[in-house]
Amino acid sequence: MSALNNQLYRFGEFTLDANQRVLLRAGKLLALTPKVFDTLQILVEGRGRIVEKDELMRRLWPDTFVEEANITYNIQQLRKSLNDDARNPRYVGTVARRGYRFIADVETLPCENGVATSQLSGDGFVSQLENLPAETAAAGEDTRPAADVAAASASKTFFLVALASVILLAGGGLLWRFLARTNRNSAVVRGPEKTTLRLERLTATGQSRMVAISPDGKYLAYSRGIERKSGIWLRQFATNNNVEIVPADALIFGLAFSNSGEYLYFVKGEQNATSLYRVSFFGGVPTKIIDHLEGKFSLSADDRQVALLRQTVSSNGEQQCSLITVNADGSGERTLLVGTYPNSLEAPLWSPDGKSILCAYGSSEGGGQDVHLVEVRVADGAMKDLSPEKFFRIAKMAWLPGYNALVMSARKNLGDNNQLWRVSYPGMQISQISEELSPFLDLSIAANVDRAVASEATRLSDIWVGPSREPQNLKKITQAIDNFCWTPDGRLVYASTTSGNRDLWIMNLDGTDQKQLTVDPAVDAAPAVTPDSRYIVFTSNRTGAFQVWRMNLDGSNQVQLTNGVSTDHPTVSADGRWVFYNTTADWYLWKISVDGGQPLQLTNYVAYWPSASPDGKLIACSGRTGPEREILILPIAGGEPLKRFEFRGTGSPGARIKWTPDGKSVTYPTVLDGPTLILRQPLNGAPAEEILRFEHDELFDFGYSSNGQYLAATLGGWQHDVVLINDLNQ
């Protein structure tokens, strides 16, 4: 790639060998994917100067159109490998809106045939190559055998030449093993150019969230959503013929073929219940099996039993998730295990012998990373941990042919995308096998052939702004995600992934003068501005779990305010002295001084999404009486609610409560019979009234400017499409 390919470079504790395409840290090999290595080499060779984004795209993907997010992704992965901090970089600096610059001092090393005699010599390097992770073996297009590399690294040392000769003549010992590892694992963990797996896109409508493949790999079942309702379609791979077998009359939350291949099972969300159905492979009238379950379920190998999950709320408002088995005709329901909030259950999967159920168990509240694999014995419900490795979420699991390993769609951290991971069974060795820019959601693997299908998700959302008196005429301003807030002078602080990471930005209401406020690899979200415009408080998981932070309005002086239990939903009092927030372990309400100090507990009951009234006397929150959700009005000092109002509908992802500027009502988003509405609830007890309706877009957040003249909303949605994966078991 480079005109100076036969070079070695040293910076800090790292050595880069451009010829052998390896990176060492203190003499030990590091795993880099091809494009990440190329990115590093370009920056190192251009050290001191700004390498423009256009130049990086042109050199990394010649004659190929790719999105700029690919560069951002490569830089993020490179910084992780170098243990570099984007905000206080030692190696890779960012030049806003232009590109990147390698800022460390670089020394060019003397080398022989491109190998540094001081770094890569003798048995140590041979040993490292023999034990090289599969992803590194795949990283270089020039994957020379370990013996050749060892001979080159010590061409003037007779002993090592002799050693290399012995290795080469030893019936293929080291060389054969290295080449076998390289060939066998060459598809593991490649770069964002999507050469990791052989993916073939099967749909392009953005409407297919759920997917299943028949055991023989000949048929595909997939959902297709239209106007908040989903139908089920069947495709024959041989003919590419598609036919709708279940009409679009409700939302579909799960799909699976029976192991016999005769039936298709699916979960359908109806008005008052979510139910499991079975329908003939060729369509017909579906048969209902059981009500009140979540979307994920699993069929036993003999198709006689179903493992499913059920979410409930106890009489004291405590959320619970139960692992349940039921016969295929709906009889014989048994509860094997109950997880109490914040712990939950996910992704059930029957073991091959039918004696146990594998599933994900743990907590991811507050951005934590405590979800792991467990096995629950069917006979008595006893739970056993299978692996100490922790994840933020494990979304779906499926067996590979032969049942000696499974694949799961999972992510380590909140800010990551769901990737595919291979888990050996029963050895439980876990390795990542994909590195895609779009997260995987659903997953299904054929039992008898090496073929799988998955759905990939893409979230598209933007901030829309307009006069509050004309809420139907909002205009799209810029890309944004999740929550935002207004500043007192009419600007917007919002979360965006424009940088390739979820950071906070500020801009004028018309989109001009956009400035990035946070620059770090963590997730920064939920901003709130003090009334004097001095501070922005927000949440960040940069220390492991979400905590409340404070920074100046220009992004400087970032200070952590809370510690310990993870937190969420910060808001500021009308006088700017206090920050109200929730602890995610119980959703109780707390407050802490904006200057830091000892936090104070305000409630011993669920009171989340706090919002302080304009006059500084009240707090509005969401709460529960048993399973029923309600709006609570509390005194500013906490304690028991002064008023309770019915929360109409089912809520939405951004269902936080906002005060109207006059302080006489509260507003909140909810879903009623399909569309998302914003309702106004007067404090005088009058019935709630609809003030805005979003027929098609999903609402992630909304809010009025401090003078009430403007309304902003984060609107958008998720797009899902199906991909075919060939040779997944290779």
* pLDDT confidence tier of residue 315, bands split at 50, 70 and 90: low
Neighbour order of strands in the sheet with 319-327: 297-299, 305-313, 319-327, 334-340
Tokens for 442, please give them.
Answer: 């659903």
* pLDDT confidence tier of residue 185, bands split at 50, 70 and 90: very low
Mean pLDDT of the chain: 82
**Cα angle: 43, vertex 48, 52; to 5 degrees:** 55
Q: How far is CA 17 from CA 2, 4, 78, 220, 609, in A?
A: 12, 11, 16, 46, 52
* pLDDT confidence tier of residue 298, bands split at 50, 70 and 90: very high
* pLDDT confidence tier of residue 592, bands split at 50, 70 and 90: very high
pLDDT in tens, 664-682: 999 999 887 667 889 999 9
Quickly list DSSP for 645-673.
Answer: EE--S---TT---EE-TTSSEEEEEEE-S
pLDDT in tens, 680-717: 999 999 999 998 888 777 889 999 998 889 999 999 88
Q: What is the pLDDT of residue 4?
A: 41
C-alpha neighbours within 13 Å on the C-beta side of residue 387: 18
Mean pLDDT of 150-176: 33
CA distance 265 to 278: 4
Work out the end-to-end distance of the chain between its first and last CA atoms, rounded to an integer number of angstroms. Answer: 29
Q: What is the pLDDT of residue 317?
A: 66
C-alpha neighbours within 13 Å on the C-beta side of residue 377: 7
CA distance 17 to 128: 15
Mean pLDDT of 623-646: 89
CA distance 548 to 571: 10
CB 124 within 8 A of CB 27: yes
List CB contacts of 374: < 8 A, sequence separation 6 or more: 358, 359, 360, 361, 383, 384, 385, 386
Q: What is the pLDDT of residue 159?
A: 32
Q: What is the pLDDT of residue 184?
A: 28
Q: What is the pLDDT of residue 649?
A: 80
- Higher-confidence residue of 635 and 205: namely 635
Mean pLDDT of 325-349: 92
Tokens for 49, please give them.
Answer: 């100067």
Q: What is the pLDDT of residue 228?
A: 74
Q: Does the pLDDT at position 18 exceed 60?
A: yes
Q: Does the pLDDT at position 59 exceed 70?
A: yes
CA distance 217 to 446: 5
Three-state secondary structure readout of 596-628:
CCCCEECCCCCCEEEEECCCCCEEEEEEEECCE
Tokens for 723, please give them.
Answer: 């991909």
CA distance 393 to 373: 11
CA distance 405 to 426: 8
* pLDDT confidence tier of residue 508, bands split at 50, 70 and 90: very high
Helix, strand, coil shares, percent, the chain, to 5: 10, 45, 45
CA distance 394 to 346: 7
Q: What is the pLDDT of residue 468?
A: 87
Closest Cα partner for 360 from 349, 368, 352, 351? Answer: 349
CB 221 within 8 A of CB 211: yes
Q: What is the pLDDT of residue 77?
A: 81
Q: Strand 600-601 to strand 515-516: parallel, antiparallel, or no bridges (unpaired)? A: unpaired
Count of other CB atoms within 10 angstroms of residue 159: 10
CA distance 407 to 398: 6
Q: What is the pLDDT of residue 22?
A: 87
Q: What is the pLDDT of residue 491?
A: 97
Q: What are phi and psi of 473, to 5 degrees?
A: -115, 35
- Higher-confidence residue of 383 and 165: namely 383
Q: What is the pLDDT of residue 65?
A: 58
Mean pLDDT of 289-304: 92
Count of other CB atoms within 10 angstroms of residue 270: 12
Share of the chain above pLDDT 70, in %: 83
Q: Give the least confident one: 86-95, 489-498, 615-624.
A: 86-95
Mean pLDDT of 192-209: 74
Helix (H) or strand (E) holding 183: helix 173-185
Identify which of 122-131, 198-207, 630-639 has the greatest average pLDDT.
630-639
CB 618 within 8 A of CB 666: no
Domains and CATH numbers, the chain: 8-185 (1.10.10.10), 198-459+720-726 (2.120.10.30), 460-664+697-717 (2.120.10.30)
Tokens for 161, please give them.
Answer: 């030449």
CB 493 within 8 A of CB 478: no
Q: Does the pLDDT at position 488 exceed 60?
A: yes
Q: Does the pLDDT at position 312 exceed 80?
A: yes
Q: What is the pLDDT of residue 116?
A: 44
Q: Does the pLDDT at position 620 exceed 60?
A: yes
CB 432 within 8 A of CB 692: no
Three-state secondary structure readout of 76-104:
HHHHHHHCCCCCCCCCEEEECCCEEEECC
Counting every residue, how long is the chain? 730
pLDDT in tens, 408-418: 999 988 778 89
Q: Which residue has the tokens 């994900």?
A: 360
**Cα angle: 415, vertex 420, 426; to 5 degrees:** 120
Helix (H) or strand (E) holding 173: helix 173-185
Q: What is the pLDDT of residue 714?
A: 93
Q: Give the least confident one: 12-16, 89-93, 671-675.
A: 671-675
Q: What is the pLDDT of residue 435?
A: 79
Q: Does the pLDDT at position 477 exceed 70?
A: yes
Helix (H) or strand (E) holding 570: strand 567-572
Identify which of 148-157, 281-290, 672-681 has the greatest average pLDDT.
281-290
Q: Does the pLDDT at position 156 exceed 90?
A: no
CA distance 394 to 391: 7
Quickly list DSSP for 126-149.
Answer: HHHHHT--HHHHTT-SS---HHHH
Closest Cα partner for 408 from 440, 364, 365, 367? Answer: 440
* pLDDT confidence tier of residue 391, bands split at 50, 70 and 90: very high
